[in-house]
Structure 1
Amino acid sequence: MDHSDLTRMLKHAATAPPAAVPRALEEGVMARIRVDDGRARRWRSFIQWLLILAALSGVVTAGMIGWAMASRDTTHTTPPAMELFRTGRPQ
């Protein structure tokens, strides 16, 4: 195959009418696309709910851990030990 054969073949391919898809095949393809679109929407919804629930679970868990740690913390329940209260009035 030389340059002129290749050019002729490319021109022929560019000017050729598009191949017609049989009507029955086109309907089948469109039905499959609709089914796949519904399946994709369901998966997308499932993943979104999964992410939302995971984020909500993380926030609730962090809140519970923070509350549990704060309820056991005794730092502010007793006053600080001050030298004045231990020894009494300075002489």
Structure 2
Amino acid sequence: MNDSDLNGMLRRAASAAPATVPSSLEEAIMARVKVDDGRAKRWRSFVQWLLVLALISGVITACMICWSMASRDTTHSVPPTMELFREGGQP
């Protein structure tokens, strides 16, 4: 194929009438799209449940981490040693 063949093919393609969809088919497609919103509702419900479960999982994970860190912390398990408690409160 040379340049003149390519140019001729491109001119024919550019001047060709665009393929149109029959109006009955277009109307049928649009009617189905308007009526069939069940797929969108199912998808929306799936995404919402996924977000809720991710949130619950995150909260449970954070609680488990905090509980494990707090159970190993011995800061408040032994009362502080203060002069008042060692001497019995005598000035």
Q: Same fold (TM over 0.5)?
A: yes
Give how far 1:42 is off.
Answer: 2.6
Give the SS at the match of 1:79: coil
- Alignment correspondent of 2:89: none
After TM superposition, which residue ranges in structure 1, 4 or more long, deviate above 4 angstroms?
A: 31-34, 67-74
- CA shift digits 1:37-70 (9 cap, x unpaired): 6524531431233122321342145336635864
User: Tell me, which stretches of 5 or more residues in structure 2 are unaligned?
Assistant: 87-91
1:62 matched to 2:69? The reply is no
User: Tell me, which stretches of 5 or more residues in structure 1 are unaligned?
Assistant: 86-91
Identity among equivalent positions (%) equals 65
Q: Structure 2 length normalisation: TM-score?
A: 0.55
Give the paired residue count. 85
- CA shift digits 1:9-63 (9 cap, x unpaired): 111110111112112322343345553x652453143123312232134214533
Q: Structure 1 length normalisation: TM-score?
A: 0.55
What letter corresponds to residue 2 of structure 1 in structure 2?
Answer: N
Q: CA RMSD in A?
A: 3.8
What letter corresponds to residue 79 of structure 1 in structure 2?
Answer: P
- Alignment correspondent of 1:7: 7
